[in-house]
Every structure is written in C-alpha cells, then in structure tokens.
Amino acid sequence: MKFKLLPRLVALLVLAVLVSLLLELPFFWRQFYPIRYKKFIVEQAAANNLDMALVTAVIKVESNFRSDAVSKANARGLMQLRPNTAKEVAQGLGHIVDDAFPEKLFDPEYNITLGTRYLAAMLKQFGGDEILALAAYNAGPTKLRSWLDKGIWDGTWKNRRQIPYPETRNYLDKVRQAKERYRKLYKND
C-alpha cells in the first residue's frame, strides 16, 4: 500500500515544482497583463510626466483594454472617462467639443490622451501623491476632498480601509497590484 502511494506523491511534487516554475515566467504573466496600445501609452505617459506602468495599470483596472467599455456611471473607453470630465479636459487642451464628442471617447488614442492628462491633473492637484490622485480619479476630486476635510480618511495607503466607497478601496488595491506587475514584467522593454 505504501509503495503505491510513493509514485503518486513524487508525481504531485514534480507537478508542483513545474507549476511554480511556470508561474515565475514572464511569458505566463504577460498573458494576464498585456499592454495594448503600448506605443501610444508610452508617448502620452511621457508627455504628461507619468509612469508608464501606472497608466497601463489604470487602463487594465478601468477597462481591461476594452476600448468600447461603458460603466454604470457612463464612463467610457479605455481610461473610463465620464463625458463631462472628458469635456473639461478636452476644452483645456483646446479641442473642439461637439455633439459627436462622447463617441470620440471610444477612440483609444483620444481616450488615452484625455485620460493621461486628467490623471496628471489629479497628481498635480493632490501634490504628487499617487494614492490621493488615484482615489480622486476613481471617486472624483470633490468627493475625495470631502473625505479628507471631514477626517473620514487620512489619505494614507495604510489607512485606505477608511475610504467609505468599497469600489475606491478595491480600485486602489487593484491599480497598485497591476502597476507592480507591469513594472516587473516589462522593465526591460
């Protein structure tokens, strides 16, 4: 009986070793963390003084690289911009905003242009603090300021569980995890 169990245990051990080796291969993880529109992400990240891994992580978490994504809040495209927010950013860039504007948010390059500009604006507005900028990107800067002003959240990563919106708490966790994964997987690209 013991001798029949030994080959099974050895086979399971070999399988476990093979699986753990596979999980360490960048090729494996790149299937789960792809970068679509990489050239444009790199260009717009640089143009807005943003970390490419951060921009890519925001896109991954916001839309999973689906340019046709629409949220319950009517946020659109890769970086999930609400039409009013996108309109303000576009006007700030001197772009024409007409009746067809909301549909333009599904264009990957245009969405990334506006989304990176907005993310950079959130970073600037919140003193370069990436956690605050991401919370503002997700929940809105007005809502974030009310949490900070009322002492609901102290604005730190350590105390992010104080954030009253579960979606924003989860968003911060997901973006941070994706950013680290992208940084590790694509550091030599």
> How many CB atoms lie under 10 A from the CB of residue 131?
16
pLDDT of res. 29: 63
- Bridge partners (DSSP) of residue 76 are 70, 81
- Which residues are registered as beta bridge partners of 81? 76
pLDDT per position as a tens digit, 41-62: 999 999 999 999 999 999 999 9
Residue 20 is predicted with a pLDDT of: 58
What residue ranges do the domains of the chain occupy? 1-31, 37-185
Fold of 37-185: Lysozyme (1.10.530)
State yes or no: pLDDT of 23 exceeds 90.
no
2 has a pLDDT exceeding 60: no
Q: Report DSSP state, residue 160.
A: G
Residue 118 pLDDT: 98
167 is catalytic: no
Give yes or no for a contact between 37 and 108, defined as CB atoms under 8 angstroms apart.
Answer: yes
Q: Residues 118-154: pLDDT tens digits?
A: 999 999 999 999 999 999 999 999 999 999 999 999 9
The catalytic residue among 62, 88, 103, 130 is: 62
142 compared with 6, residue with greater pLDDT: 142
pLDDT at res. 32:
79
Distance CA 63, CA 173 (A): 16
